[in-house]
């Protein structure tokens, strides 16, 4: 977990355990601090957790295996629609979450393999174009799958989707009673999403120091050399697509449960680009960078939207630019400055792959 502690730069280098403890405390207290400024910020924090989970999955494909995927949002859609089909009045099916969520992850993994097979020989721009097309095909498919049988409800989407039920407590978008205290579902979902993120981080850390993780690094750096030393690049590429898609499927299912509504508009190309931007912004190939990048680009646009109106009123006496336009303008400017000043991201990945280096085991390193 040492690289996760890099999210607190100075303390992380001097005392990783203290930094990790500070991160745990920050993660637990964050929703309550955000709640002091209104429930909207807790909701943004919930979505930030989902974006972290998506960024971790895409980082596995792009950062670890070096496969540029611009259609990653398609797996998010597969997981979301799986939950919508199996846990809503749309088909009259109301399966529990512990069945629906694994099914969504499995279907997303199959979609990842379906995408991986025709792209095994492609690299760079060609791979990006094919994956982009795959993402758009899934979105258009969901948008038009209404005739002759209404399966997806088209652009109107599917609503009244079931929430999650934990330990007999139904977590939906209303208030629930737990231990004589009314706790908003926003807070409960935050901790569910946080648990998913923690499990994802632990799993990815173990994979990164395994033979599979090192093989992905070899493929990313030089695929021909990886083939020459006996690495089965075909199977490992398919595994990368499938595992990355699994994270997307889980995120999609959690999104559907949290939002209670899904439609094709939630799975556009811009969402894929936004997730990829989070990875590049934070530091491609570095878990700490991915998490920081996802958090920063989840909150920064909303902060800019929040301050756009009062700042214009204060400076000019009236509003010249719509907050949404100004928000994207300032965010784009921030990204350009970031790429000029720190092109490797906020927390660049270390170019070392030994088990000792990744685990921080100094005795083994010697």
Give the per-residue pLDDT at 364. 40
Query: How large is the average pLDDT for residues 110-117?
Result: 90
Residue 166 has pLDDT above 70, yes or no: no
Give the per-residue pLDDT at 358. 45
User: How would residue 175 be classed by pLDDT, with cut points 50, 70 and 90?
Assistant: very low
Residue 356 has pLDDT above 60, yes or no: no
Give the per-residue pLDDT at 6. 52
Give the per-residue pLDDT at 249. 95
Query: What is the rounded average pLDDT for all residues in the chain?
Result: 82
Residue 237 has pLDDT above 60, yes or no: yes
> CA 12, 16, 20, 21 torsion: positive or negative?
negative
Cα separation values, 88 from 175, 238, 318, Å: 20, 32, 46
**Domain CATH number, residue 141:** 1.10.3470
Give the per-residue pLDDT at 9. 54
* Residues 16-49: tens digit of each pLDDT: 677 777 888 888 888 888 888 878 888 899 999 9
Residue 350 has pLDDT above 90, yes or no: no
Instruction: Give helix then strand counts, H and E, for the chain.
Output: 15, 8
Per-residue three-class SS string for 108-169: HHHHHHHHHHHHCCCCHHHHHHHHHHHHHHHHHHHHHCCCCCCCCCHHHCEECCCCEEECCE
Give the per-residue pLDDT at 179. 39
pLDDT: which is higher, 296 or 351: 296
Phi first, then psi: what are they for 261, rounded to 5°?
A: -160, 135
Give the per-residue pLDDT at 26. 87
Residue 3 has pLDDT above 60, yes or no: no
Query: How large is the average pLDDT for residues 346-363?
Result: 54
Tell me which residue range forms the domain holding 92: 4-365
Give the per-residue pLDDT at 363. 42
User: How would residue 198 be classed by pLDDT, with cut points 50, 70 and 90?
Assistant: very high
User: How would residue 244 be classed by pLDDT, with cut points 50, 70 and 90?
Assistant: very high
Give the per-residue pLDDT at 13. 60
Q: Would you state the structure tokens that stand for residue 13, as one six-digit string?
A: 């280098």
User: How would residue 184 be classed by pLDDT, with cut points 50, 70 and 90?
Assistant: low
Residue 303 has pLDDT above 90, yes or no: no
Give the per-residue pLDDT at 365. 39
pLDDT: which is higher, 328 or 288: 288
Give the per-residue pLDDT at 158. 92
Give the per-residue pLDDT at 178. 43
pLDDT: which is higher, 114 or 174: 114
Identify which of 125-139, 296-310, 350-364 has the greatest average pLDDT. 125-139
In angstroms, the CA 342 to CA 345 distance is 6
Domain count, the chain: 1
pLDDT: which is higher, 101 or 37: 101
In angstroms, the CA 249 to CA 54 distance is 9
* Residues 82-92: tens digit of each pLDDT: 999 999 888 88
Query: How large is the average pLDDT for residues 195-223?
Result: 90
Residue 361 has pLDDT above 60, yes or no: no
Q: Would you state the structure tokens that stand for residue 307, as one six-digit string?
A: 């301050």
In angstroms, the CA 348 to CA 249 distance is 27
pLDDT: which is higher, 11 or 51: 51
Specify the residue for token string 């199977």.
235
């Amino acid at each position: 977990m040492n690289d996760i502690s890099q999210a607190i730069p100075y303390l992380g280098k001097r005392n990783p355990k203290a930094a990790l403890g500070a991160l745990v405390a920050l993660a637990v207290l964050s929703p309550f601090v955000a709640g002091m400024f209104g429930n909207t910020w807790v909701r943004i924090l919930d979505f930030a957790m989902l974006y972290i989970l998506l960024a971790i999955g895409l980082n596995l494909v792009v950062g670890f295996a070096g496969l540029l995927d611009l259609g990653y949002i398609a797996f998010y859609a597969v997981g979301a629609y799986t939950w919508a089909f199996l846990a809503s009045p749309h088909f009259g099916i109301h399966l529990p979450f512990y069945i629906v969520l694994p099914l969504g992850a499995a279907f997303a993994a199959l979609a990842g393999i379906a995408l991986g097979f025709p792209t095994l020989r492609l690299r760079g721009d060609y791979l990006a174009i094919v994956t982009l097309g795959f993402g758009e095909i899934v979105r258009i498919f969901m948008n038009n799958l209404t005739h002759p049988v209404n399966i997806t409800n088209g652009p109107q989407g599917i609503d009244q989707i079931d929430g999650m039920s934990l330990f007999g407590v139904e977590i939906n978008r209303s208030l629930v009673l737990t231990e004589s205290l009314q706790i908003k579902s926003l807070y409960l979902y935050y901790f569910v999403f946080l648990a998913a993120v923690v499990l994802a981080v632990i799993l990815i850390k173990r994979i990164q120091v395994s033979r599979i993780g090192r093989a992905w690094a070899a493929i990313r750096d030089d695929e021909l050399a990886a083939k020459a030393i006996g690495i089965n690049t075909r199977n490992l590429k398919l595994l990368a697509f499938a595992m990355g898609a699994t994270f997307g499927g889980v995120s999609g299912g959690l999104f559907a449960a949290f939002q209670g509504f899904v439609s094709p508009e939630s799975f556009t190309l811009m969402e894929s680009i936004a997730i990829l931007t989070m990875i590049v912004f934070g530091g491609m190939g570095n878990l700490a960078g991915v998490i920081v990048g996802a958090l920063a680009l989840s909150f920064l646009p909303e902060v800019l939207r929040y301050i756009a109106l009062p700042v214009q009123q204060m400076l000019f006496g009236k509003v010249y630019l719509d907050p949404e336009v100004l928000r994207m303008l300032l965010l784009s400017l921030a990204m350009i400055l970031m790429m000029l000043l720190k092109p490797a991201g906020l927390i660049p990945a270390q170019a070392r792959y030994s088990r000792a280096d990744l685990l921080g085991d100094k005795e083994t390193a010697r």
